[in-house]
Amino acid sequence: MISSVNRLCKIAAKGISSILPSSIKARLRQNKKLLAFYSRALQNRFLFFGCVPRKTLDKSYQHIFAEQQRSLNQLPDKQTEPFDLVILVAIRKVESLSLTLSTTPTNINIHVVCRGRDIKKVSALTSTYTEHNIKIYPSPVAQLDTENSVFFIHAGQVIDKQLGKAIFHWSNGHDILYTDKDFIIEGKHQNPIFLPDWNPDLQLSAAYIRTGLWFKHQDDIPAIISHHAQTIAEWAAFLYLNISHLKIARIPYSLVHDSESRKFNYNSYANSLSMFPGHRAKISVNAFIGKLTWRWRHHNQLVSIIIPVAKHSPQLDDCVRSIMRSAYLKIEVLVVTESSIDDNWLLQIEGRTEQRKVRIVEYNGSFHYASMISHGVKFANGEIIGMISPNVEAVDAKWLNHIVSNVSRTDIGCVGAKLFSSDGRIKHAGIILGNNKQTGYAHKYFPGHHLGYLKRLVVNQNYSALDGACLFVKKHDFVAAHGLNSQELINHYADIDFCLRMISMGKRNMFCAKAKLYHHDTEITGATSLDVNAFAHQSNEPSGDYSIISKDRETLYSLWPEMFKDDPAYNPNLSLEGENFAPRTANELKQMKLLPNFHLQRKLN
């Protein structure tokens, strides 16, 4: 139950919010420190739907951690990867080294990397650990004196005693591994950080990998560690920026245990990444929230925005007007309509657009979102295709600039936007695939200004799928993927299927947090209401036939079963009973044990 304190905080927050003028609330939202504080307060005080109380989270994680340890205990002791431990000592963290050394098994070689001025202090401290084989290096270090693989952590962190077993089972076919982590508070494992599979754009934007990085080959280290990159987060980002041939995977076990929260220097991170050759982007940093925004260079391509419209779409005019207010000027809008639609209504739409960039494309048939998009592409002149529902309305003028900046990249397939419901809550910020054949919206119903789990509501990142209500892709990629699947899928999930085909083509799909739009409710384009099941994707097509929805869901699953088993943008330790990134519940653990065999069923690429 919600405590009386939380209830009072909730009442007070609502009361204050209700009496503040909109202009003042808008000004307060521009204060980055206040926004970050507000987001943390929401999470800690259980002030919104989907937020799980801290005690419940801790209890769930106790079950998960116990299950992880049990499954690792079942592995043969001989199946262990020999590795050396590399400990990075930050400024004023020499004393923290004692905790790491005292908990590291004596059969593991230890390499301590510190600033030159700290070598004497480190030497004096390590001299008391006579049972360990310890070598000390000045920072930065490019070559370690070892023939083993190496595992990097920070001073003050503790490696799990079964780390070698986990590395052995995940190292096959991979050059780089990283792990989940947690915190040891008063002897208990708490506050887990469950990471997605290798997510380059999340690393560039939020540095989600900051410790627990394993290198299989010693030869790969000098190419990464340089005078420009001196932290684990920077090395991980460098893996994408300059070294694309290495295969990276995540071990979904908490194998690094921290003793304290660590401040991360985002300004230093941004400065370091800006020095990498060939980055082709400008970087801006928001140190208060803790994120980087990358503005990738592009050639100002023409964007063709296609809007399928059924009969009587009263929101279309607002949609088109908001598109025309975009700061990005090289656009054309194609309104694809049913052949039976009222001619006077079409003339009214054409006449009310300020700039002659709108064309009406007639579709010979009844409303079908996927088919109408594919039909509109035939008439599109742009190098970039945008699919937009008529009940979508842009929030600010620069939304399209951010999308074009990212969709223009050769390794990016689809780019989706951050969509708000009419009341300002999160409606879409990426789609998660679940092993129960369901799909769900990440952070659905969260407050619009919330930072999200690991700040995933405010930073660009890669998701397996994105919502077709606002989806952009290069035209040649659209054609190469043979458009939206309207043959196998009757009326739903064509957007998810299309995104997964982008992945099969070697592309990454991206959620663009800076592209903000409203996705208003409507009886015309969002007729299916599946809120009874949190993990049910709301299609844009007008159909209330649940048998069709169920059939399309089964078809989607049959086409992409591996993606549903373990969504790489999610984490198998996170719950599929909701869309709030909470740990798996005890009930879920009973239904599907977190055994190594389960994780290894999915072939990581």
Each residue of 317-343: pLDDT tens digit? 889 999 999 999 999 999 999 866 666
**598 φ/ψ angles, rounded to the nearest 5 degrees:** -65, -45
Q: What confidence category does residue 443 fall into, taking pLDDT thresholds of 50, 70 and 90?
A: very high
Q: Residue 57 has which token pair? A: 């989270």
Of 195 and 245, the one with more pLDDT: 195
- pLDDT tens column, 72-94: 998 888 889 999 999 999 988 99
| CB count in 10 Å sphere of residue 38 | 19
83-88 and 149-154 as β-strands: parallel, antiparallel, unpaired?
parallel
420 and 562 inside one domain: yes
In this structure, what CATH number is given to the domain that contains residue 327? 3.90.550.10
Within-domain flag for 570? yes
Distance CA 543, CA 210 (A): 45
Within-domain flag for 278? yes
- Side chain identity, residue 98: S
Of 230, 250, 285, the position where a domain reaches its end is 285
Where is average pLDDT lowest: 50-54, 192-196, 333-337? Answer: 50-54
* CA proximity to 360, closest of 351, 318, 478: 351
Within-domain flag for 38? no
| SS3 state of residue 570 | coil
Where is average pLDDT lowest: 354-358, 448-452, 465-469? Answer: 354-358
Where is average pLDDT lowest: 35-49, 204-218, 290-304, 374-388? Answer: 35-49
257 and 339 inside one domain: no
Q: Residue 47 has which token pair? A: 């002030």
Residue 592 clears pLDDT 70, i.e. is over it: no
pLDDT at position 587, please? 81
| Surface-to-core class of residue 561, CB atoms within 10 Å of its CB (0-12 exposed, 13-18 middle, 19+ buried) | exposed
Q: Residue 254 has which token pair? A: 């908490």
Of 571 and 55, the one with more pLDDT: 571
pLDDT at position 226, please? 63
Q: Provide the mean pLDDT of the chain.
A: 85
261 and 338 inside one domain: no
Within-domain flag for 40? no
pLDDT at position 350, please? 61
269 and 355 inside one domain: no
Q: What confidence category does residue 460 fall into, taking pLDDT thresholds of 50, 70 and 90?
A: very high
**Side-chain half-sphere CA neighbours of 500 within 13 A:** 21
Distance CA 467, CA 426 (A): 13
104 and 186 inside one domain: yes
445 Rama sector, left if φ>0, alpha if ψ -120 to 50, beta otherwise: left
Q: What confidence category does residue 557 fall into, taking pLDDT thresholds of 50, 70 and 90?
A: very high
Within-domain flag for 32? no
405 and 554 inside one domain: yes
Residue 12 clears pLDDT 60, i.e. is over it: no
450 and 564 inside one domain: yes
Within-domain flag for 603? no
273 and 316 inside one domain: no
Q: What confidence category does residue 531 fall into, taking pLDDT thresholds of 50, 70 and 90?
A: very low
Where is average pLDDT lowest: 61-75, 239-253, 527-541? Answer: 527-541
Q: Which domain holds residue 92?
A: 75-285
- Side chain identity, residue 481: A
397 and 521 inside one domain: yes
Total count of domains within the chain: 2
Residue 529 clears pLDDT 80, i.e. is over it: no
